[in-house]
Amino acid sequence: MNGLYQGIFKRDIALAFRQRSELAQPLMFLLMVITLFPLGIGPGPMTLQKIGPGVIWIAAILSSLLAMERIFRDDFWDGSLEQYMLSGLPVSAIAGVKVLVHWLVSFLPLALFSPLLALFLNLTVDMYVALMLTLVLGTPLLSLVGAIAVGLTVGLQRGGVLLALLLIPVFIPLLIFATSAVDSAALQLPYRAQLAIIGAMLLLAMAAAPFAIAYALKVSQN
């Protein structure tokens, strides 16, 4: 059974890198958004430092929506999703594998580019450390929660707009706590409480989201 999950993982990774244009779109969108903000509000170092964490997180959330629909789309249209559900394998485990692939191909590049973004937005070292911690804890939460909405809308022809309407309000608490943690770091204040809340949300999502995704996929197949 582990070999089957490894096969699904390798297949999804290969498929993601085969569609390189779709793979690059969220990252390019994120970089464009972060580049446009300084041009619109001015290049003042203190201004950039103040808005930087919020800009990065808003750009991460919006760029994630571009790639979110891809989690189950190809499997739905080629019939693989139906075969998975008829195979007798736990759909929740398959969903967990697909969420992991989505996080690796969508958010790991963001982590690699984050030092450049921090330098571009004049973030201090303390702010960058806090930003990285919030990204490490928060971006898997984006993938897990987003996959639930994708499971509900996977059969719709134009589910992207509905997906954004469903997910953006849900992501607001994460945005508030993540930016609050970085702001606290900028003021040399402790931010463990914010990280603990984000971590608690992540643990809850890791426990419940795979089963919610499996149920959403079953509903969309009926």
Within a 10 A sphere around the Cβ of 90, how many other Cβ atoms?
15
Q: Which pTM was predicted?
A: 0.87
> What's the pLDDT at 3?
67
> What's the pLDDT at 38?
78
**What's the structural domain count of the chain?**
1
Lowest-confidence region among 99-108, 128-137, 205-214 = 99-108
- The pLDDT tens digits for 39-58 are 887 777 788 888 888 888 99
Is residue 6 very low, low, confident or very high in pLDDT (cuts 50, 70, 90)?
confident
Average pLDDT, the chain: 84
Share of the chain above pLDDT 70, in %: 94
Q: Is the dihedral angle over the CA atoms 58, 62, 65, 67 positive or is it negative? A: negative
Instruction: Please determine, for residue 24, whether its predicted confidence score (pLDDT) is greater than 80.
Output: no
Would you call 79 exposed, middle or buried from its count of C-beta atoms within 10 A (0-12, 13-18, 19+)? exposed
> What's the pLDDT at 106?
83
Is residue 77 very low, low, confident or very high in pLDDT (cuts 50, 70, 90)?
confident
Lowest-confidence region among 90-94, 177-181, 195-199 = 90-94
Looking at per-residue confidence, does 87 or 94 come out higher?
94
Is residue 159 very low, low, confident or very high in pLDDT (cuts 50, 70, 90)?
low
- For range 101-127, the mean pLDDT: 85
> What's the pLDDT at 204?
95
Q: Which domain holds residue 44?
A: 2-221
Would you call 12 exposed, middle or buried from its count of C-beta atoms within 10 A (0-12, 13-18, 19+)? buried
- For range 47-74, the mean pLDDT: 84
Q: Are the C-beta atoms of 66 and 25 separated by less than 8 Å?
A: yes
Is residue 157 very low, low, confident or very high in pLDDT (cuts 50, 70, 90)?
low
